[in-house]
Amino acid sequence: MAKVTAPLFGFSASGKLADSLVYMKWKGINDVRQYVIPSNPKSEDQTTQRGYMTAALTAWHTAGWIAADLAAWNRYASTLAKIMSGFNAFVKLKIDALVASKVFQVLVNADFSSVTATAGTVVMDIVAEGTTYLHVGTSKTAFPDSYLGVFDTDHVTFTLAGNTEKTKYYCYAQNTEGTDIGRTGIYEFETPAA
């Protein structure tokens, strides 16, 4: 049913009138168009792309995120040129990996409880072994320090060195192992006083 705020063709209307016209606002302009049932191409490429989207959504919903992981993804998304959420950023990376025939490794549950004023360790859960680095810096966009992770069964441990006390750090982990890729959002942690 079309909703009219003034006489028809007067100020504005929105919605569908029978199966013939659709009234809408488009880029701030009142518009009316012929009602058309959208096509649903089921080409091989379209089906493949829908499969990528389904896999990305499933990965997001089954990853086991904790609140810090979600905040990290949103922080990462805030550094990108396009406006998007952490969810959108993850889905894009996952689909890009699938298109490139890579396995996207999900790293979750970062634990910063062992970080001290000058050193410490960071532990993250990971599904599979791979060469994983933790990139660390004092800005959300610059990460000058990198630490190679050590994989053990279902998690990877990074040993930090050269921290400064009472300093806020940002970091993200990135997996770059052959056919496997992966990354986290951008975490933040603060070193305690010495």
In this predicted structure, what is the pLDDT of residue 170? 96
β-partners of residue 157 are: 123, 150
DSSP 118-172: SEEEEEEEESS---EEEEEESSSS---EEEE-EEETTEEEEEEES--TT-EEEEE
Q: Percentages helix, strand, coil for the chain, rounded to the nearest 5?
A: 25, 35, 40
Question: pLDDT, tens digit, for every residue of 151-169?
Answer: 888 888 999 998 899 999 9
Q: Which domains does the chain have, with CATH numbers?
A: 3-34 (no CATH), 44-190 (2.60.40.10)
Average pLDDT over residues 8-13: 62
Instruction: Provide the whole-model pTM.
Output: 0.78
Question: pLDDT, tens digit, for every residue of 67-117?
Answer: 999 999 999 999 999 999 999 999 999 999 999 999 888 888 889 988 988
Question: pLDDT, tens digit, for every residue of 12-51?
Answer: 677 787 888 888 887 777 778 888 888 888 899 999 999 9
Higher pLDDT, 193 or 56: 56
